[in-house]
Chains A and B, each alone.
Chain A
Amino acid sequence: MSRRLYILLFCSVTSVLAMSQTDIQGSVKLQNGQDIDFASIIVSPVTSPKTILGSTFTAENGSFRLNVSSDCDSLILKASSMEISPVAITIPNRSGIYDIIVEERVIGLREVVVKAKKIYLQGDTLNYNVASFLSQSDLSVADVLRKMPGITVSEAGHVSYQGKPIKNFYIEGLDLMKGHYGIATNNIDPHNIATVQVLENHQDIKALKGLRPEEQASINLRLKEGVKGVFNLIATLGGGHGNDALWNNSAIATYFRRNS
């Protein structure tokens, strides 16, 4: 029993030896012999150049040393740094000294700045960033809503999402206007709005929440941070006569505040 164990052990040891460590040494130098320090050295197998078997950085005298283990018969040795153009050489998978000659270059990095996304999804809420749709000539929220993909606005200010009329139109979560939200869409200054949120599957009746899926979407406007509130005063007055005198008037004052 124990002899069999020894044989097994011996076999496993030899198999480890077969995939032996390769000791790679060398230095990174310019054509004129100047040493390159703090250069990144990466070793990868020829079969999959993306895989990193080992990596190190060169010392002050440009030298490097690293151990890798791979069963691939040749390796790629890459040297790169901010001051040199990257160089890759193919070497056999054998221990040895490999010097890399590189060329100087100016830093060729691309500067990157990340900007806020136009549209992003949060759970089942679709957020449209108003600032990225807004242009100078937009006077009301309706003008901006018209530009957002998936949203259409009728002349009267009624909003549809993906062809279906929306169910509720909220401002900061408040359904103040009920069905008359056309007044809001045609009058609110879009510069005060940060995001337009499309709430899919939004059930506004608490008792039915989670029980009945809602097919119509709802829209919520979120005010910008720092905007104190949005005040709207809309008054209409009309008169005329047919058989009798006809008249129509309405006055609506609204004030919305950001609820944080």
Chain B
Amino acid sequence: MRYVSLFLLLFVASTSVAQIIKDKESAILEVHYMKTWVTDTLENRSYSEDMTLRVGKTAAMFYPPKRMWVDSLLQTNFELHEKLYREMNPPGQIEYKPLGGLEREYLFRNINAGETIVARIIAGDHYWYTEPTEMPVWQILSETKELLGYSCQLASCDFRGRTWYAWFSTDIPVNEGPWKLFGLPGLVLEAWDSKKHYAYKAVGLYIQNLQPVGIRLYVRNKPFMLKSRQAYLQKMYKAYIQGKFASQMSALYGNGAQSAPTQAQYDYQERDYPHK
């Protein structure tokens, strides 16, 4: 019996990790984007959050820097995290203000060759999935424009249920871009979908004093591995669009006023999953 409990203890200890860090290569370029997304197509409410794209020679990572900072703080200095959190959400404040901003999705492209890892917290638990890196099939259009002092060209693609447009610059010869919008003969400096529900805009380019490119996840336990992108999208759909998470939280911690889930008026960047 003692052996069993010892074995169990060992098992528990091995699943709890404070961080997953795997550096692959040094970075050659870092791009800061402003991501804007519409969260209510009826009221036309939108949010904006900073995103960072760090580009290596073969790999890239795309993450919300504020969220990464908070995640790492939560694992390394819990007291400070709590203090900051309390300061941002004083008692009596109705609106919940997340410390690390509203964007939670991390993306790691080709850290393991040919594989894209997407990780995020869904309804309080960490999840991730891997998929073969899929490059959008781009159509290069003839429009040109100058962005951040770089001459850019327009391209469009149909990617997973949305039509995307992107301004890219061949003066920055890396085939990277925000989120999964990569594969053009130059860096994407601005991108948006045809419904204008999602938009990325480059606000800064940096080439000095960069951290390496690799997987950086600060989590207490190893995230749950979802078996496919479809499983991930279904999980996200149920938790946030069908509002299961909100009604659960309301039942647990609220006054129970929100008994029935409310359908959210938005959709994800990827729409190629079965839903209404």
Contact = CB atoms under 8 A, between A and B. Distances in A.
B16 interface: no
Interface in A31-90: 37-42, 50-52, 55-57, 78, 80-82, 86
Interface residues of B, number: 25
B149 A114 contact: no
B148 A40 contact: no
Interface in B36-95: 57-58
Contact of A110 (B149, B184, B203): B149
Given A40-B173, A40-B186, A114 B29 contact: no
A213 B207 CA distance: 52
B247 interface: no
Pick the most buried of A55, A56, A107, A112: most chain B CB atoms within 10 A of its CB.
A112
A155 B17 CA distance: 67
Contacts, number: 62
Q: Is chain B's binding surface mostly helix, strand, loop or mixed?
A: loop
B246 interface: no
Contacts of A107: 28-29, 207
A114 B206 CA distance: 12
Nearest to B203: A114
Category for how many chain A residues contact B: 20 to 34
Contacts of B153: 50, 52
A39 B29 CA distance: 15
Nearest to A43: B185
B45 to A, nearest CB: 14
Nearest to A79: B173
Contact of B170 (A38, A42, A109): A42
Nearest to B30: A111
A112 B175 contact: no
A57 B203 CA distance: 26
A5 interface: no
Contacts of B204: 111-114
Given A38-B57, A42-B185, A114-B203, A82 B140 contact: no
A111 B142 CA distance: 27
A153 to B, nearest CB: 34
B99 interface: no
Given A52-B153, A111-B207, A112-B204, A40 B185 contact: yes
Interface of A: 37-42, 50-52, 55-57, 78, 80-82, 86, 107, 109-114
Interface of B: 28-29, 57-58, 140, 142, 144, 148-149, 153, 170, 172-175, 184-186, 202-208
11 contacts: A40-B173, A40-B175, A40-B186, A52-B153, A55-B184, A55-B185, A109-B29, A109-B172, A110-B205, A112-B148, A114-B204
